[in-house]
Structure 1
């Protein structure tokens, strides 16, 4: 089921609610939170299908992506507003609590929800992301210069064929060298994303969104929601030791590593990533169970 969700005056998000395909009569929901400037359709169908064997799966387009409202210049916002959108999507689907899965900036948004609305989160899984406030530390590397140079052209005007070529080249840079890169896999993905949005331009709105309110890394130690941090060793944006730093910073964080994974969900990592997420969502005692044992919580 697809629907539009009102999250702010003049701002609507496209969202999709996919029913579970397994035998559980009351499957717990999973909300997928994608990275910066990326539509919810970047979540591969193969991964969504694996998760749907056990869960109701909800994915959505951030503001200024996909079929959601594109109006940053008229309605500027902060990254923290995108975190509030996560909760607004749960509200729209009458979901009191869900398992959250966040990639890249989506992992940042999940961390903010863990701090500000922990009761809405059963478990969390984040990957290809950094701890809140983590950048700027001499012990945590920044993205390489060649990737930063590529990002300088993120919002350059291009015709549709040139934009498609740029996006494939970008995915190649993000994927790293740990697994073979299939350009046609990502060309097909981006053709679908462009068709879904009905436009090929990219205003890079999330790169312009205000960064205020993100320096909250010290608060992560108080997070009691079980959180899995998936380490992608070939990730050029948030390479090790970012993932280990985040796992240690969280009150109930744990770390798993998917060999060869970069900053992309390639066909080769779908199976291990799905297995890691499902282990977290189906076998991990939830924060609700912990809270039930502690009436003061």
Structure 2
């Protein structure tokens, strides 16, 4: 079921729900510049067997409002959008899964709205924490020493804002996914082209917005709140991750109280078909964990 929700004055977000209305809610939050259709259909279907799955388009993506130039916003506002989606759909508490920027937004929900989060699964992201990273040998490193984005990703991102027609845009997006996938597993170009064709059709065209790159990202650190949270958190460890390479996942698990690591061999910063069953299993294992009870 699709629904357009008003989350702020003149701001509307496209949402979709799948699965039984009476099942435990599960909110999917995609990354920067990505619409809700970035969550592959087989993954959504697998999760919807046990959950009322909710996905949505961020502002300036898909069928949601595109108006950053007229009404600029902060990255933290995107986290409040997620809360507004739950409110608009009458959901008191939900399991939350966040990918990339969506993983950061999920951490903001865990820190700022723990009463709304039953569990959290973080994929391809970094900790909103200044806590140092403890290496396997016991020595500690400041977060500034964690590895940055790979040169291959930075190179393809340098062409992100170039104007392209539909076919050239599709070619670029597939090439982008090839780099993001990390190279440890065979790459299925046809699968990612089909994914992007559906995303473009959903949005009504191949246009993209730099809004999330331009949005104010200050005020996002939640070191103390994450270190003391009672929300069950799972961190997906992707060995081939090129945007937030290991040990970012390990650092998140150290920075968030009680967080557990789940490795998915061969995974990078993408959701290829071959890894979806393992990812669905990991997410469902997290949602089966009892969360904090209301007081």
The corresponding residue for 1:213 is: 219
| More displaced stretch, 180-189 vs 202-211 | 202-211
Residue 149 of structure 1, CA deviation: 2.5
Alignment gaps of 5+ in structure 2: 133-141
For normalisation by structure 1, the TM-score amounts to 0.93
Q: Counterpart of 1:285?
A: 290
Q: CA deviation at 1:204?
A: 2.2
**Aligned residue pairs: how many?**
285
C-alpha separation between the residues in 2 aligned to 1:177 and 1:119? 39
2:235 touches 2:261 (CA, 8 Å); kept in 1? yes
TM-score of the superposition, structure 2-length normalised? 0.93
Query: Which residue in 2 is equivalent to 1:295?
Result: none
| 1:191-206 equivalences in 2 (<5 Å) | 191-206=197-212
Alignment deviations for residues 139-185 of structure 1 (CA, whole Å, 9 cap, x no partner): 31110223123212212211111111111110001001121111110
- The answer to whether residue 240 in structure 2 is matched with residue 234 in structure 1 is yes
Q: Does the aligned pair in 2 maintain the 1:2–1:17 contact within 8 Å?
A: yes
Residue number in structure 2 paired with 1:250: 256
Residues 84-124 of structure 1, C-alpha deviation per residue, up to 9 Å, x if partnerless? Answer: 00100000100000000001100000000111110000011
* Contact 1:233-1:258 within 8 A present in 2 as well: yes
Alignment pair present for 1:82 and 2:78: yes
Aligned partners of 1:96 and 1:245: how far apart in 2? 30
- List alignment gaps of at least 5 residues for structure 1: 293-297
Q: Cα deviations across residues 219-255 of structure 1 (Å, max 9, x unaligned)?
A: 3101110000011110100111000100111112111
1:91 lines up with 2:97 in the alignment: no
3-state SS of 2:126 partner: coil
Cα distance in 2 for partners of 1:75, 1:5 equals 17
Q: SS where residue 287 of structure 1 aligns?
A: coil
Specify the SS of the correspondent of 1:147: helix
Alpha carbons 1:228, 1:254 under 8 Å: kept = yes
For the 8 Å contact 1:233–1:261, the answer to whether it is kept is yes
Q: Is the Cα contact below 8 Å between 1:154 and 1:202 reproduced in 2?
A: no
| 1:108 equivalent in alignment to 2:104 | yes
Q: Answer yes or no: is the 8 Å Cα contact 1:179–1:268 preserved in 2.
A: no
Counterpart of 2:137 in structure 1 is none
2-side partners of 1:138 and 1:4: how far apart?
40
Counterparts of 1:44 and 1:254 in 2: how far apart (Å)? 24
User: 1:133: Cα distance to partner?
Assistant: 4.4
Residue of 135, 144, 152 corresponding to 1:146: 152
| 8 Å Cα contact 2:19/2:50 also seen in 1 | no
Match of 1:66 among 62, 67, 73: 62
Runs of 4+ in structure 1 over 3 Å off: 133-136
Please report the RMSD computed on the Cα atoms of aligned residues, expressed in angstroms: 1.5
Are residue 127 (structure 1) and residue 133 (structure 2) matched?
Answer: no
